[in-house]
Structures are given as structure tokens and as C-alpha cells.
């Protein structure tokens, strides 16, 4: 499948960057898939020829070592918000089927991981939970718990996705508990009242079981989306000691009692506060129930995740959200997100890389009032049955199409201005994502064992080498 938004720009100026081998060893099965900042190439396949070349022409060398391994990848993908599901569900049957196959078929873009909001997010038309009550009422036994809102659009779309890729992994993240559990009685901000910790733990269990009853397995949950950002709508302030107490005394024990295998992931916020997950993981009573920590990058640097890994190398790391602001600067977004997330997050131990959000309409609707995001550009823009592929589509696609779940990151050297990350795939192949951040074209030699391949990338190009 050719992923080119502008098919009429055929072969323009590409011949100079044709790739070739630098060894006598045949590399007929090698290819590189290139996306350029000018959008003339969009995950475009270029063959690697099996001819020799003068090694004096090489500008940089990347050396791989598949004997040195790191984390196993769970996948690359997006948040399927309520608004995303609404827009996709409203498409005609044929258009929707074509789009979902394009996104989730493992032979096409191959999106392999999705994040959902548990209850409403700020990209729903209005905030909601699964146990909303009239003001002043409570429901500690959760008799009124219902997935009804999700069954309108989200659950039907998830079922269609699972028919295409039944192995896709799904993460659930809450933006707010029911307001009757909060000290301010509002969807926005406030804190979870300690007297409702048990009820909120049971709320997670009910959610996981209700989704399972609909044929949807929740692989993991985070405790709270952006727990240090109470200004969103919906949102909740939950400091590290509160999250630790909730897990060790309530959520962890009830998961164990109910034989819930869903992973518990903490934090789910910016890289500028690695102390938050470290504080929780330093508590062994809480840590026993925790699989790992999740991060966004609206603050801090991606290298801060290494600090969390070093403090607790037995716990996993996940990258779970980054937005693209409308209208979307393709070159700027592709470059920054690739270097920091597609390459940077896995090099700092992340098992997932997820963009926010999968779909919106041409007006970036829906979103909540009083703090909902009105500039969040979807990976795709949907207008009726018409689909526009936006920067995040290609940012994720550059990895998801090739780095399949179960791929293991392997060691690779990092030449100056050539960020890269390498994997060994479950079928024994090698995938290397390479970015040329320099101001000039580069010929880059990739070495592994007795194989030597030469790829040429123009300034700013991103290439995924597969062999």
C-alpha cells in the first residue's frame, strides 16, 4: 500500500536519494520507507539495491548489536476518544470499514495499541462518568453503574477494530471519578474523598468486567490522567501519596481478590516530575501491585524517563499521550515527535508510543467547555466520509507499520544529528527508524553482523529501514 497524500507528485526529485548496499552480501529483501518534511514522500518505499559503493562516500555509521536487548514493545497508536469514536461511527458502512482496515489491519498502518478514557474525557461533548447522580446523592454500592454512554459509539467501534485485529492492546485512563466521590462535587478539579477509595476501586473493577462482557479486554489502566493538572474538564488532582494509598490499600487488594489481571500503571503525566512515580514505587506495599509508569511530554525532557528506569528497573515505562495542535505544522510536528517520541521514548525504555487523539472533525469538535481542548488535531480529520491524514497519522505509521508487538529493542549507536532506534521483530527481521536532523543530505551506513547497508536521507527525512 502506498501512503502518499499527493500521488500526482510522482517521483519528483527522489532519484538522488536512492538507497544502495555497500557489501557484496545480497540485500534483496531490504527496503527503506521514507517520509519527508515537504510531504512529497509519505511512508514511501525505496528499494535497497545489492550493488557495491565506494565507502568513502559514507557520512555516518550506525552500528547495531542484536545481542544487546532492552524492552519488548507493546505497540504504537492513539487515544480513541469518545469524539473519535463518534465521528468514525457516523461514517457510511463502506467508508468506515475502509478506514478501520487501513488503520488497524496489520498489513496496512498496523496500529497496535489504543488508549480509552474511562468515562468522559475533554474530547467528549460533555463530561460524564458511569455513575452520575443528581446533586447530593451517593451510590457506594455502584448500583447505578452503567456503560450506556460508551455503548452509543465507542463500544461498537471497538468491536469492529477487534474484528480486524483481535490482538490489539487497550489501555483505559480516567479523567475524573463520579463527582459524588469528589471533595468539590464538580467534574473539574477537586480530589477523591478518602471515604470513597473503596467505591472507586470497585468502579475500576466494574469497568473492566463490563468491557469484558462486551468482548473488550482492558490490558492496563492508569489511575488518573494528568493527576497534577486539575484545570481540565473533566479532571482530578491526585498527588503521589494519595495515589500510593489508593493502590496499596484499595485498588491493588481488590484486583487481587477479584482475580483482575489488568495491569496497574501509575502517574500518566509529564516528564518534568519523575519524582512522582519514583515516590510511589519506593513504597513496596504499593509497588507490588504496579506494572509501571506512564508519561506525557508537555513538560520536561524525554531523557527524564531514564531516571525512573534506573530507580526501578523491574518496572515498565509507557508513553501514553502527546497532542498535535491545529492546524498542524507538518514539518515541525513530524520532526519533533519523531525525535522525542518515536525514537526518544523507546530509547528511554517505553513499551508504547501513543499520540492524542485518533480523530476529530474539521472544527476540532467535540470538546467540553470550561477546559476542553479546542485545538487538538486528530491523526485523521473526518468530514462526513472524507478523511484527511494529519501529521500524527504519519508520525505513528512510520513505526506501527513495521515495529510489530513483541519486537525487542536492540542496541544501536547514535551518530551526531542522526537519531535512531532499532528492533528485532518477532519474525527475526531488523527494523531501524532513522532521522536526519542535520541541514544536509546524509549517506548513512547501517552495520549489523555481516550486513552493511547504505541509505541516503535528505535533510529532515525520516526513514524506516526494514531487512
**In sequence order, what E strands does 356-413 have?**
359-360, 380-383, 386-389, 408-412
DSSP string, 26-57: --TT-EEEEE-TTSS-SSEEEEEE-----GGG
Q: Quick check: helix, strand or coil at residue 270? A: strand
Residues in the chain, total:
467
22: cell is 555497500
Consecutive H or E run containing 79: strand 75-79
Residue whose C-alpha cell reads 456503560 in the numeric block: 147
Contact 254, 205 (CB under 8 A): yes
CA-CA-CA-CA torsion sign (393, 457, 50, 451): negative
**What distance in Å separates the CA atoms of residue 465 and residue 76, rounded to the nearest whole number?**
17
**In sequence order, what E strands does 223-313 have?**
263-270, 292-296
Which member of 102, 226, 333, 390 is catalytic?
Answer: 226
183: cell is 471533595
Strand-strand pairing, 350-355 and 60-72 = unpaired
Contact 10, 2 (CB under 8 A): no
Q: Can 285 be counted among the known catalytic residues?
A: no
- 73 DSSP assignment: P
Which residues are CB-neighbours of 290 under 8 A, at least 6 positions away?
Answer: 247, 252, 264, 265, 266, 280, 281, 315
CA distances to 103, 134, 209, 254, 330 from 218, in Å: 20, 29, 9, 16, 33
- 315 DSSP assignment: S
Contact 112, 77 (CB under 8 A): yes
**What distance in Å separates the CA atoms of residue 214 and residue 392, rounded to the nearest whole number?**
29
Which member of 60, 102, 321, 333 is catalytic?
Answer: 321
* Rg of the Cα atoms in the chain: 23
User: Which of 261, 267, 152 has its CA nearest to residue 212?
Assistant: 261
Consecutive H or E run containing 391: helix 391-400
Q: Can 226 be counted among the known catalytic residues?
A: yes
**What distance in Å separates the CA atoms of residue 216 and residue 207, rounded to the nearest whole number?**
11
Consecutive H or E run containing 319: strand 316-321
Question: Looking at the annotation, which residues are catalytic?
Answer: 226, 321
Amino acid at each position: 500500500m502506498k501512503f502518499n497524500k499527493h500521488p500526482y507528485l510522482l517521483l519528483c526529485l527522489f532519484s538522488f536519494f536512492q538507497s544502495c548496499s555497500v557489501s557484496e552480501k545480497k540485500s534483496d529483501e531490504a527496503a527503506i520507507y521514507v517520509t519527508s518534511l515537504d510531504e512529497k514522500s509519505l511512508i514511501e518505499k525505496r528499494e535497497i539495491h545489492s550493488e557495491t559503493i565506494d565507502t568513502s562516500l559514507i557520512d555516518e555509521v550506525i552500528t547495531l548489536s542484536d545481542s544487546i536487548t532492552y524492552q519488548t514493545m507493546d505497540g504504537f497508536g492513539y487515544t480513541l476518544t469518545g469524539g473519535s469514536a463518534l465521528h468514525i461511527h457516523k461514517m457510511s458502512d463502506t467508508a468506515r470499514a475502509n478506514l478501520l482496515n487501513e488503520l488497524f489491519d496489520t498489513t496496512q498502518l498496523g496500529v497496535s495499541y489504543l488508549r480509552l478514557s474511562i468515562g468522559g474525557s475533554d474530547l467528549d461533548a460533555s463530561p460524564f462518568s458511569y455513575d452520575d447522580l443528581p446533586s447530593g446523592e451517593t451510590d457506594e454500592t455502584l448500583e447505578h453503574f452503567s456503560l450506556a454512554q460508551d455503548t452509543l459509539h465507542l463500544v461498537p467501534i471497538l468491536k469492529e477494530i477487534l474484528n480486524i485485529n483481535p490482538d490489539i492492546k487497550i489501555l483505559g485512563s480516567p479523567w475524573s471519578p463520579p463527582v459524588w466521590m469528589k471533595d468539590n462535587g464538580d467534574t473539574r478539579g477537586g480530589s477523591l474523598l478518602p471515604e470513597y477509595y473503596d467505591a472507586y476501586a470497585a468502579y475500576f473493577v466494574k469497568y473492566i468486567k463490563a468491557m469484558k462482557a462486551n468482548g473488550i479486554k482492558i490490558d492496563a489502566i492508569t489511575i488518573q490522567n494528568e493527576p497534577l493538572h486539575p484545570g481540565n474538564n473533566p479532571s482530578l488532582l491526585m498527588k503521589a501519596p494519595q495515589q500510593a494509598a489508593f493502590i496499596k490499600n484499595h485498588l491493588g487488594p481488590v484486583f487481587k481478590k477479584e482475580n483482575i489481571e489488568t495491569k496497574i500503571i501509575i502517574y500518566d503525566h509529564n516528564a518534568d516530575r519523575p519524582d512522582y512515580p519514583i515516590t510511589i514505587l519506593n513504597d513496596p506495599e504499593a509497588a507490588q501491585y504496579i506494572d509501571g509508569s506512564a508519561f506525557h511530554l508537555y513538560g520536561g525532557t524525554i531523557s527524564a524517563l531514564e531516571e525512573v528506569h534506573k530507580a526501578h528497573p523491574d518496572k515498565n515505562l509507557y508513553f501514553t499521550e502527546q497532542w498535535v495542535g491545529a492546524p498542524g505544522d507538518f514539518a515541525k510536528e513530524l520532526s519533533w515527535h519523531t525525535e522525542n517520541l518515536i525514537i526518544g521514548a523507546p530509547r528511554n525504555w517505553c513499551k508504547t508510543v501513543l499520540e492524542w487523539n485518533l480523530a476529530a472533525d474539521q472544527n476540532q469538535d467535540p470538546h467540553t467547555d470550561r477546559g476542553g481542548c479546542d485545538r487538538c488535531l486528530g491523526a485523521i480529520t473526518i468530514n462526513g466520509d472524507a478523511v484527511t491524514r494529519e501529521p500524527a497519522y504519519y508520525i505513528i505509521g512510520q513505526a506501527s507499520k513495521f515495529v510489530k508487538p513483541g519486537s525487542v529493542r536492540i542496541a544501536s549507536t547514535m551518530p551526531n544529528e542522526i537519531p535512531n532506534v532499532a528492533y528485532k521483530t518477532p519474525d527475526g527481521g531488523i527494523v531501524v527508524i532513522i532521522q536526519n536532523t542535520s541541514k544536509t543530505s546524509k549517506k548513512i551506513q547501517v552495520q549489523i553482523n555481516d550486513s552493511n547497508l547504505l541509505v541516503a536521507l535528505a535533510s529532515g527525512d525520516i526513514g524506516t529501514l526494514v531487512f
